[in-house]
Amino acid sequence: MSAPDSPPTPAVHRRATLPRAIAIDGPAAVGKSTVGRALADRLGYLYFDTGAIYRALTWLALENDVPVSDGPALAQLATAHPIIVQPSADTPDGYRVTAGGRDITDRLRAPAVDAQISAVSQHAAVRAALLDAQRAVADGTAVVMVGRDIGTIVLPGAGLKIFLEASPIERARRRYRERLRRGEIADWSDELASTVARDARDRGRANAPLVAAPDAIVLHTDELDAAGVVAAILAHIDIGS
């Protein structure tokens, strides 16, 4: 029983109906993909990670020697090599990605892509070139969409917006452990430095900066595992339980 002078517990405002679109945003390695996929499975929704599109374009730029500083050239590259994301039960991330008909799913998490994706995604021309493709995913189907500007730019009318947060140290730790699990060479200091630098780029860019939408529910996840985060989100949804 709480002490008499304890502050009241904030009320959870549950939605009267299931939102047709759920937007999940947040910085790198905060667990958006894991949480988004689990939530989509729980609700029977389509899961879509928009980061896959930007990773695919980043890989294409590196493969074709297109400078990541050249926004118009990157946008033209996206047009020349259409990027398609399709659900797939036989992959760890739950989807396959093709670029110009070529399956590049296994190349999306390469360190070189990690290092350049923020530079690619900051261009207004790139984001404009890929925006319609992202929005089309939500047309006619219930979706959990994850990224960095879903609630603010891609789906500003989403019925539920979630913004996940975690400290740079915790997110670097998660990424470091993920690389080790995949058998990759990983350095803790490099991961932390990379996380801090990427945060600065994503939050400070002039075009579509990483920021929580005014009506988003912000969840701090340092002390929560994926199941705990999903439970916290479900507390805001009326699922008839």
Q: What is the pLDDT of residues 91-143, one digit of tens each?
A: 876 678 899 999 999 999 898 998 999 899 889 999 999 998 788 888 878 89
Q: Name the one residue in this structure whose structure tokens are 């904030």.
A: 10
Q: Is the pTM of this model over 0.75?
A: yes
Q: What is the distance between the alpha carbons of residues 49 and 24, in angstroms, rounded to a whole number? A: 9
| 218-238 pLDDT tens trace | 999 999 999 999 999 999 987
Smallest CA-to-CA distance from 51 within 66, 65, 80, 30 is with 30
- Return the CATH number of the domain spanning residue range 21-234: 3.40.50.300
One-letter amino acid identity for 189? S
Query: Where in the chain are the domains?
Result: 21-234
Q: How far is CA 62 from the centre of its chain?
A: 21
